[in-house]
């Protein structure tokens, strides 16, 4: 180490990861999420023959056909996915997900005697989907997974031109369609409702209610627009230098991040200053650092 210091190389520092209490909080939130999933399954979905997508949906159908507890199939079917996931996602993700699935299998067995909350299939599909989506969203938000089909989708994504979302959607359509042959087509259609409700709730839970948007503006009046965004919205802006590929002319680009509720106001500001300005707005899922938080406007 002394030789390294003599030639100006700093001594190797240990990488600081999450603190112990952060791991404990994440584990607790994953456990809460898995508990929500188990309640959704045993109080709403399974008693009404409504399935979810992925391994959970397969396990529900296997329980119906074999009479074995759903928890047995949750573990058995997920094992090969976790073996794949160990290479694709890393040790921490695999261990976290395996613990989550094991807990889900245990809780579904523990909650089996509880009575169903409703016999109405539509209510069961909607509220079961809501509770399931909240649970899965909590698990995903804290770095885990309770369904191995997502790992398989990542593998297919690397070997095929399809995205991870497209692979997951295809697999779930196949699984939900299979419910028509096992339970009947009415139940399959209610299962589709539960799946889409859960899908939306996963987005809300994992990404938050207040979605953010990235804004790019190209205009000759970039300084005036930037000042207006700063003064009227309280948002910081960044000026970028660009070049038109066709004309070769220098372009001034404004970049900023806003909330969903400010989108209409941004459009009005830009339109009032430069009607010919180029404006692009896109959704973003995570914002960290910088000066994203609004300053107070006096």
DSSP annotation of 247 reads: T
- Say which residues have a Cβ less than 8 Å from residue 235's Cβ, sequence separation at least 6: 229, 256, 257, 258, 262, 294
Give the tens place of pLDDT for each residue, 102-124. Answer: 999 999 999 887 888 888 999 99
Structure-token match 């000026």, residue found: 239
How many Å apart are CA 40 and CA 32, to the nearest integer?
A: 12
| Residue 243: strand pairing partners | 250
How many Å apart are CA 73 and CA 55, to the nearest integer?
A: 8
Mean pLDDT by 10 residues, the chain (298 residues): 40 53 85 94 92 89 90 90 76 82 91 84 95 89 76 70 71 88 91 90 71 86 89 84 74 85 86 91 71 51
Structure-token match 């030789």, residue found: 3
Is the pTM higher than 0.95? The answer reads: no
Strand arrangement of the beta sheet that strand 250-259 belongs to? 238-243, 250-259, 212-218, 278-284
Domains (range + CATH), the chain = 20-207 (no CATH), 212-284 (3.30.70.120)
Give the tens place of pLDDT for each residue, 43-100. Answer: 999 999 999 888 899 999 999 899 899 999 999 998 888 887 777 667 777 888 888 8
Question: Considering only CA atoms, which of 43, 184, 185, 26 is closest in space to residue 95?
Answer: 26
Would you state the pLDDT for residue 211? 64
Question: Considering only CA atoms, which of 212, 211, 216 is closest in space to residue 281?
Answer: 216
Task: Supply 50's token pair.
Answer: 């409504």
Would you state the pLDDT for residue 8? 42
How many Å apart are CA 197 and CA 191, to the nearest integer?
A: 10
């Amino acid at each position: 180490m002394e030789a390294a210091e003599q030639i100006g190389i700093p001594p190797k520092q240990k990488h600081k990861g999450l603190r112990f209490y952060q791991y404990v909080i994440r584990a607790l939130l994953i456990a809460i999420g898995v508990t929500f999933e188990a309640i959704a399954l045993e109080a709403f979905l399974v008693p009404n023959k409504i399935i979810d997508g992925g391994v959970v949906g397969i396990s529900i159908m296997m329980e119906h056909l074999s009479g074995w507890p759903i928890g047995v199939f949750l573990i058995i079917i997920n094992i090969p996915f976790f073996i794949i996931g160990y290479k694709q996602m890393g040790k921490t993700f695999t261990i976290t997900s395996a613990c989550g699935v094991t807990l889900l299998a245990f809780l579904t067995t523990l909650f089996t005697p509880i009575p169903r909350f409703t016999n109405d299939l539509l209510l069961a599909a909607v509220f079961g989907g809501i509770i399931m989506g909240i649970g899965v969203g909590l698990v995903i938000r804290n770095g885990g997974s309770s369904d191995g089909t997502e790992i398989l989708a990542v593998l297919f994504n690397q070997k095929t031109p399809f995205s991870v979302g497209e692979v997951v959607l295809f697999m779930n359509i196949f699984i939900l369609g299979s419910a028509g042959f096992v339970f009947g087509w009415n139940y399959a259609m209610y299962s589709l409702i539960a799946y889409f409700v859960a899908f939306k709730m996963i987005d809300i839970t994992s990404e938050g209610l207040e979605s953010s948007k990235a804004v790019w503006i190209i205009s000759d009046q970039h300084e005036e627009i930037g000042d207006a965004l700063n003064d009227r919205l309280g948002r910081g802006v960044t000026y970028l230098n660009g070049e038109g590929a066709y004309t070769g002319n220098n372009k001034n680009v404004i970049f900023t991040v806003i909330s969903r509720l400010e989108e209409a106001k941004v459009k009005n500001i830009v339109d009032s200053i430069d009607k010919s300005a180029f404006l692009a707005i896109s959704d973003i899922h995570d914002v960290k650092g910088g000066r994203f938080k609004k300053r107070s406007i006096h």
